[in-house]
Amino acid sequence: MSRFSLPQDAAFAALNTSLGFDQRLWPHDVAQSRAHVRMLAAQGIISDADRDEILEGLATAAGELATGTFPFQDGDEDIHMAVERRVTELTGPAGGKIHTGRSRNDQVITDLAMFTRAAAEQAKGDLEQLRQVILAVAEAHLDWPLPGYTHLQRAQPVYLSHHLLAYFWMVTRDIERFDAVLSATSLLPLGAGALAGVNFDTDRRMVAAELGFTGVVPNSVDAVSNRDFALDLLHALSVTATHLSRLGQEIVLWTSTEFGFMTLSDAWSSGSSIMPQKKNPDAAELLRGKAPRVWGHQAALHGVIHGLPLTYNKDLQEDKEHLFDAFDTVILCIAAAGGMLETGTFHREAMSAAASDPMIAAVDLADFLVKGGMPFRDAHGVVARLVRESVDGGLSLADVTTADLGPEAAAIFEQSSWLESKVSEGGTSLARVREQLEQARALLAT
C-alpha cells in the first residue's frame, strides 16, 4: 500500500533517481548494514535468527555487486533501496527488518562519511608516493642550476632540487588537509533516524566501533543535515588540484622549444593529427585544465547547501556527484604528475645557460655594494643605472659593471657565486638544500 494514488511521472523518476552514480557506495552500505543488524540483535530489537538471515543475504548481495551480477530493477531509486530490496528477496520477512531503527537520511550520510574517509586515505597514500618521487628527482638533480622566475621573467638562479622541493612542501600541506578530513569524519551519524532519533534503545557506539568511528554525532538534527566533511574533502581536493596545475604549467613551459629545460617521456606525451613533428605535453596541460573542474564542484556544493533549512532536503542528493568526480579527477592528476616527473629528462646545459644570464646577478651586485657600506636603496639605484647602460649600449652587465666599479666586482658574475651566496635558512645554497633534503627524508620516515 502506498500513500500515493498515481505512479511517479517518468521525468520525475529520472530526476529523482541516484542509482546511476551512488552504486559506488555499495561497500559502505553493506558494511554499515551488517553493523546495524548486529547491533539490533545485541539490543534485542531483532532476533539472532533474523540477524543471521540478514547477514547471509547481505553477503550474497555483496558478492553479486562485486561481480557485476546484482539484479538491479527499474524501481531501484538508489543503492540503499536496491540492497534492501535484494536482501528482502533473499531472506523474506527477516529482510524486512533490516531498516528497523534507521532512516535513509542517516543511512545515506553514514555511507557518504565512510566514502569520504576512504577517499581521504587514498588521496593521502597517493600524495605520499608523489612526495617520494619529488624527493628522488630533487636528489638526482641536486646541483643543477635553473633560473628562478618572478612575473615569468628571469629573476635569480636556484638549484633545480630547491625548486622541486617547493612542491614537496606543497604536497605535505595537502596531506595535512586530508588529515583534517579524516578528523571531520570521525563521528558516526547513523542512529539519528530521519532527524529526531529513533524509537528504539539502540547502541550507536557499538556500530561506531565496528565501522571505525571514534564516537557518535551528539545531535540528531546535525547528524542528517551535516555535509561539512564533504566540503572539507572538496577543499582539500581543490587545493591539491591547484598545486598540481602549477606544476603542470611549469612542465609545459620547461618542455617547450623556447625553454628546452625538460623532455617528457613518450608515455606522457601526445602527437598531432596534422603535424607529425609535434610532441605535445597534453598530460601537463590537463593538470591545468582539470583544476577548475574540481574548484567548480566545491563551489557547486556550497551552492547546494548554503540556503537549506534543517534538516534533510532532496537537494542534498547533489553532494555525491561533486565528490565522486572531484576525487576521481584529482587521483588521476596525482598519478600523472608523479609519472611525468619520474620519467622526464632534464637538460642541464640548457638550464645552466639560462641561469647564466648576467642580469640575474643584479641583486648580488647590489648586496656587494651594501657590504661595502652603501645603503641598500642607494645600491639599488646604482645597479639600476648599470642595467640601463647595459641595455641601452647592447653590452654585458658584467662588462659595464667592471668598467664602472672595477675588477673586484667581476667575481660577482660567476654563476656559483649567485647560488652559493644564498646562505639564509631555506635558501638555495647547496648546504641549505641538503638541510631541506634531510628534513624531507625525516618526514617521509615518520
CATH classification at residue 223: 1.20.200.10
Integer Cα distance of 57 and 72 in angstroms: 15
Q: Which three cell numbers stand for residue 225?
A: 543535515
Q: Which domain holds residue 67?
A: 13-100
pLDDT tens digits, one per residue of 365-408: 888 888 889 899 999 999 899 889 888 888 888 888 888 887 88
Check if the beta carbon of residue 174 is closer than 8 Å to that of residue 130.
no
CATH classification at residue 438: 1.10.40.30
Strands 153-159 and 145-150: antiparallel
One DSSP character per residue, 349-386 reads HHHHHHTT-GGGGHHHHHHHHHHTT--HHHHHHHHHHH
What's the number of domains the chain is made of?
Answer: 3
Give a yes or no: residue 163 inside a domain: yes
Give a yes or no: residue 4 inside a domain: no
Residue 411 sits in the same domain as residue 372: yes
Residue 64 sits in the same domain as residue 95: yes
Q: Which three cell numbers stand for residue 26?
A: 555499495
Q: Which of 182, 195, 247 is nearest to 226 (CA)?
A: 195
- Strand-pairing partners, residue 216, are 188
Give a yes or no: residue 235 inside a domain: yes
Task: Give me the average pLDDT of each 10-residue run along the chain (446 residues).
Answer: 79 90 97 98 98 98 98 95 98 97 97 98 98 98 96 93 98 98 98 97 98 98 98 98 98 97 96 84 97 98 96 95 98 98 98 88 84 90 90 85 80 76 92 97 94
Enzyme catalytic residues: 151, 272
CATH classification at residue 88: 1.10.275.10
The set of residues, in sequence order, having a beta carbon less than 8 Å from that of 211 and lying 6+ positions away, is 31, 32, 35, 110, 114, 188, 190
pTM for the whole thing? Answer: 0.93
Residue 317 sits in the same domain as residue 378: no
The set of residues, in sequence order, having a beta carbon less than 8 Å from that of 387 and lying 6+ positions away, is 359, 362, 397
pLDDT tens digits, one per residue of 44-89: 999 999 999 999 999 999 999 999 999 999 989 999 999 999 999 9
Give pLDDT, residue 1. 55
pLDDT tens digits, one per residue of 273-293: 888 788 999 999 999 999 999
